[in-house]
Amino acid sequence: MHTFTTLDEYIIQQQKDFPFATGELSRLLRDIGYAAKVIHREVNKAGLVDILGSTGKVNVQDEDVKKLDEYANDILIKCLQISGECAGIASEELNGFISFSNPIAKQSHYIVCMDPLDGSSNIDVNAPIGTIFSIYRRVSDVASSCVINDFLQRGNAQIAAGYIIYGSSTMLVYTAGKGVNGFTLDVSLGEFCLSHPYLQIPSQGNIYSINQGNYNSFPIFCKKYIDWCMQSDKSEKRPYSLRYIGSLIADFHRNLIQGGIYIYPSTDSAPNGKLRMLFECNPMSMICEQAGGLAYDEHKNRILDIEMTDLHQRSTFYVGSKDMIEKAYSFI
């Protein structure tokens, strides 16, 4: 008979390793896991209910809001608000942040930043999508409302970060600064079970992930690196394979398991990059570094060290296997 370690059991076992361990962070991670199960349920029946397609709204990013985007955002907010373990949230779907007003939430030491449904353009075609989250210890006084500075912390201040990928199976991957672990949802039990302990990204892979359709507007050094990736060299197992789904979570997750590099460079239409620091770059960078990889912008700045000035601040993003990131930067 096989025995499994559930997410709840694992979090409790590791609680002693959490900074400022009080049980509060443990409960907060479990609340996020619960919200993921609810979103998983809706994702898996999306074709059977009226939850596919657009709401007709445009979010703060000037992007079309999908019905499932809105649903995931609402579920996460409700779960975190009811739990009392979170003082406030910032979401990619919202212009500002939300400070929870109930007395219990105000006393919480933590805030959550989230991309409720990454890759939402893939919803209607049944491609992998996911939820990204990160947790920070607030800098404002406990028992008072959150302030903007609670959210505008550098990525290196994250207490925990993770993502949930809704694909052929639903998997939750997270780090609390002591390595990366993956949990697969066993639908028969209704529990996330430890399936990928101590994930390590291979230092070298043969996959590069980039929207190569924008090649003509990439920086010169990025074009040169892509050209190099496509050149044949048996000693270096090139050409590399181009794999790009258009969902950061899906591309990142594959590269984390198999080894690879994900690139979102500057373009003519997005000179500062397109991905959001708070909701995408910072959490994925923490996970990648904890798994042995690297994450930088195209100016060779470590993502986790970049100063935050805006909730929806954007950045160029180079993340993945250590040797591949270093090779890409040799072209600058």
Q: Which of 138, 166, 196 is the last residue of a domain?
A: 196
Residue 148 belongs to some domain of the structure: yes
The pLDDT score that the predictor gives to residue 254 is 96
Q: Does residue 50 sit within a domain?
A: yes
Based on the fold, state whether residues 221 and 170 are members of the same structural domain.
no
Identify whether residues 264 and 139 lie together within a single domain: no
110's enclosing H/E stretch is strand 110-118
Whether residue 219 is found in the same domain as residue 304? yes
Quick one: pLDDT at residue 19? Answer: 53
Which of 57-61, 227-231, 306-310 has the lowest average pLDDT? 57-61
Query: Which of 34-38, 150-154, 313-317, 318-322 is predicted with the least confidence, judged by mean pLDDT?
Result: 34-38
Q: What is the pLDDT of residues 134-160, one digit of tens each?
A: 999 999 998 789 999 999 999 999 999
* Separation CA 227–CA 100 (nearest Å): 50
d(CA 81, CA 162): 19
User: Total domain count for the chain?
Assistant: 2
CATH of the domain at 263: 3.40.190.80
Q: Are residues 12 and 81 both part of a single domain?
A: yes
Over residues 252-307, the pLDDT tens digits come to: 999 999 999 999 999 999 999 999 999 999 999 999 999 999 999 999 999 999 99
Of the residues 175, 196, 217, which one is the last residue of a structural domain?
A: 196
Are 19 and 64 members of one domain?
yes
Given this model, what pLDDT does residue 58 score? 53
Please report which residue ranges of the chain form alpha helices under DSSP H: 7-14, 24-44, 67-83, 103-106, 148-151, 220-230, 248-258, 282-290, 322-329
- Whether 121 and 261 map to the same domain: the answer is no
For residue 155, the domain's CATH number is: 3.30.540.10
One domain for residues 186 and 212: no
How confident is the model at residue 168, as a pLDDT? 82
Q: Are 81 and 17 contained in the same domain?
A: yes
Higher pLDDT, 26 or 32: 32
Domain limit, last residue, from 196, 223, 255: 196
pLDDT at 153: 98
The residue range of the domain holding 59 is 7-196
Residue type, 153: Q
Same domain as 212, residue 129: no
Q: pLDDT by residue (tens digit) across 194-213?
A: 999 999 999 999 999 999 99
pLDDT tens-place string over residues 203-240: 999 999 999 999 999 999 999 999 999 999 988 889 99
Looking at the structure, tell me whether residues 74 and 150 fall in a common domain. yes
The answer to the question of residue 255 being in a domain is yes
Distances (CA, A) of 92 to 71, 72, 134, 166: 13, 12, 12, 18
Does residue 213 sit in the same domain as residue 96?
no
Q: Is residue 301 part of a domain?
A: yes
Whether 119 is in a domain gets the answer yes
